[in-house]
Amino acid sequence: MSGLIKYLRKSDVGIVGPVTNAIGNEAKIDVSYKDLIMELTSENLMEMELFAKHYTIKKRGFFFEIPMLALYCAAMRRDVIDKIGLLDERFSVGMFEDDDYSMRIKKAGFKVICAEDVFIHHFGGTSFSKLHPDEYYKIFEENRKKYELKWGIEWTPHKQRNQE
């Protein structure tokens, strides 16, 4: 948490999150350790920790603005929450609440950033994988439409970034 909190000392930063192994946007980085879902062993955990340590030391002090910060892990100041409010509950069980929150933060004049020097392993999709694919798609489409109606824009899928 201290790695994220240091960025919140900048008054123009509204929210900050880490880089990760599994996410659908620019916060995703390539990792060299084994998939922890497939083989959760102490050796693999140590390999992940070693990767994270080396990566974050190499990237110390680096961050970038990101269009949308996924809310599986994020930090923000209370004054930002007080200014923009809580998550919009119209987005039901998830999907698009983080797109909406990032948009609201930016519209309030704050930056949405991703800290290159903070890595969190993300066991992505564990909650949504419990939904039948048809139900997942139905919720996704309903929430996409709600987002587009609220903001008067067409949602565009998130992109991965090119890594060196």
The pLDDT averaged over each successive group of 10 residues in the chain (164 residues) is 95 97 92 71 85 96 96 95 95 89 97 97 74 90 96 93 64
The residue written with tokens 């004054």 in the block is 79
- Determine the pLDDT at residue 36: 62
Which pair of structure tokens corresponds to residue 12? 């123009």
- Determine the pLDDT at residue 44: 79
- Determine the pLDDT at residue 37: 59
Which pair of structure tokens corresponds to residue 83? 């200014």
The residue written with tokens 């960025």 in the block is 7
CA 123 to chain centre: 12
Taking the domains of the chain in order of start, what are their residue ranges?
2-151
Per DSSP, the three-state class of 63 is: strand
- Determine the pLDDT at residue 39: 66
Per DSSP, the three-state class of 106 is: helix
The residue written with tokens 């519209």 in the block is 107
- Determine the pLDDT at residue 126: 62
Q: Give this prediction's pTM.
A: 0.89
